[in-house]
Amino acid sequence: MKAVGFHEHGGLDKLVTLEVPPPAVCDHDVLVKVQACALNHLDLWVREGLPGLKLQMPHIPGCDVAGEVVEVGGKVAYPPKGTRVAVNPGRWCGTCEWCVRGEHPLCPEYKIMGEHTPGGYAEYVSVPAANCVELPTDFDYVQAAAAPLVFQTAWRALITRAEIRPGEDVLILGAGSGVSTAAIQIAKLAGCTVYVTSSSDEKLRRAKEIGADVLINHRQMEFDKAVWELTGKRGVDVVLEHVGEATFERSFRALAKGGRLVFVGATTGPAAKFDLRRGFWRQVNLLGSTMGSQAEFEEVMGLVLRRRLNPVVDRTFPLEKTREAQERLAKGEQFGKIVLTMG
Ligand SMILES: [Zn+2]
């Protein structure tokens, strides 16, 4: 089959077209003919190399897949051949204490398709049958591929971890990212007032179209100061943080008393700084979160498939243009998800 991947870690120039055998289909797996595969920042880090990540080369990235089931393993009762599906990229053991509790992202064996295992920049990918959700016949593959990773991440962070409630003020950093475009809609659906930040007025305008209430251009004013002014020195109840080192202290300072800072990423670096005294005096909560359980995935995908939440697609590229697609993501030019299509 045709695929795009790399033989060694490095820059964009390491991405090459591969001709490799289609993956084997184990008893509990299905073979999906990939129709669309969304990009994630993770794809860039996997290409560049992550500490402790040892890959079998050549490696095929790609976490977010939608396509058609074309072959099923010996023990698969569902989904049958011909089903149109989107796939949860998480993998877990199913038997440890965390899996038994349904806390799949805490499984010591937790893996992400495309990071630790061959992913969706390919004509075919083999996935656990249990990770598939069926798409309605009129649901677009590109839209479906744009949802799994970022919607489960935003759902677990805001609903399960931060427990957002109607009427609360929720600040979401970086209006244009995939997680943010999911989080804005989830917070809005939950009845919150949504604050977003960006350095781009155009991205803020688009964030407003999908539900953001209060727009903060952090080139004009630091966002923590802006929040302070806009809330009458109260702060926001919840901050969704995925930027990391560059913003964490300001996110911390933007919190109301008793507020919750939920963090799901560290794009600009891992070393966060904040004032402990401010933290205990104002009794704030720091909540780590990553990915989602199968139950969370199915819950949020149910809302996506019923069009209560709408994946935002920035642009599509054919598989042959994967380098250009990753370059656009690396530059941060996108609003929403960049999606590869197989044609
Ligand atoms: Zn487990």
pLDDT digits (tens, 9 = 90+) for 56-73: 999 999 999 999 999 999
pLDDT of 108-129, one tens digit each?
999 999 999 999 999 999 999 9
How far apart (Å, rounded) are the C-alpha atoms in residues 300 and 306? 10
What is the whole-number distance in angstroms between the Cα of residue 105 and the centre of ligand 1?
8
Q: Where are the beta strands (DSSP E) in the chain?
A: 2-5, 16-19, 29-38, 64-72, 84-87, 90-91, 111-112, 124-128, 132-134, 169-172, 193-198, 214-217, 236-241, 255-263, 285-288, 313-318, 337-341
Give pLDDT tens digits for 204-247.
999 999 999 999 999 999 999 999 999 999 999 999 999 999 99
Beta-ladder partners of 284: none
CA of 104 to the centre of ligand 1 (A): 6
pLDDT in tens, 37-61: 999 999 999 999 988 889 999 999 9
Q: Give me ligand 1 centre to Cα 93, in Å.
A: 4
Helix (H/G/I), strand (E/B), else coil: 119: coil
From the CA of 294, how far away is ligand 1's center (Å)? 12
Task: Using the predicted structure, report yes or no on whether residue 343 has a pLDDT greater than 80.
Answer: no
Confidence at residue 51, expressed as pLDDT on a 0 to 100 scale: 87
Instruction: Output the pTM of the full model.
Output: 0.96
Output the CA 99–ligand 1 centroid distance in Å.
4
- What mean pLDDT do residues 267-292 have? 96
Query: What's the gap in Å between 6 CA and the centre of ligand 1?
Result: 29
- Report residue 298 as tokens: 């199915």
> What is the Å distance from ligand 1's center to 106 Cα?
7
